[in-house]
Amino acid sequence: MSATKYIAETLQKEYKGEKGAYNYKKLYKDKLVEYRKSELAVVRLEKPSNLPRARALGYKAKKGFVVVKVRVRRGSGAHKRPRAGRRPKRMGTKKLTRNISIQRIAEQRASRKYPNCEVLNSYWVGEDGKHEYYEVILVDRSAPEIKADKDIGWICSSKHKGRAERGLTSAAKKARKGKKKTKKKKK
């Protein structure tokens, strides 16, 4: 079995509830405390924290790949209470949601921070009471190693510019899908 499979197996034990050598709950809590200490919302990492997930989404340990941890505020965002008269039900301050997912917001923030890179993909890392944390995989389009790579070279073409802003990442595509319409049955 490869090293990546061993790592994935170890990470999965946390979700299955197996008791082992590691106290996953404590490790996760400590990790979030470290994340909270950072003042920056977008932080570049040396390597992904969840290597199997990153590799499944297209990450390779070579020049041109950048991994960034992004912090995004949880919740539906700030909504101003209308000043004009309305009955309380129509004030529009409760049960309002963002138009785009928090993961998509994280991808867009990473894209703005690194304008020379394109967002390849992203995955959830953790959440606490105030924030959600995502790791975003970015690819440097101008790197010769990326241009020569047959697997990821497609991202260098001009039609993939601004993928995160145009909703072309997998997280954005999931959010863009509308509700399926059902046909009315004839009597």
CATH number at residue 69: 3.40.1120.10
User: Within a domain: residue 21?
Assistant: no
User: Within a domain: residue 56?
Assistant: yes
pTM: predicted TM-score of the whole model, two decimal places: 0.81
Distance CA 51, CA 47 (A): 8
The number of distinct structural domains making up the chain is 1
- Contact in structure between 119 and 102 (CB atoms under 8 Å): no
The three-state secondary structure class of 182 is coil
* Angstrom distances, CA of residue 123 to CA of 11, 112, 169: 14, 18, 11
Tens-binned pLDDT, residue by residue, of the chain (187 aa): 777 777 777 666 655 566 666 777 888 889 899 999 989 999 999 999 989 999 999 999 999 999 999 999 998 877 788 888 888 778 877 777 778 889 999 999 999 999 999 999 999 999 998 999 999 999 999 999 999 999 999 999 999 999 999 989 998 888 776 655 556 666 6
Q: Which two tokens stand for residue 37?
A: 């200490």
User: Within a domain: residue 124?
Assistant: yes
Which domain does 56 fall in, by range?
Answer: 40-79+100-172
User: Within a domain: residue 34?
Assistant: no
Distance CA 35, CA 126 (A): 9
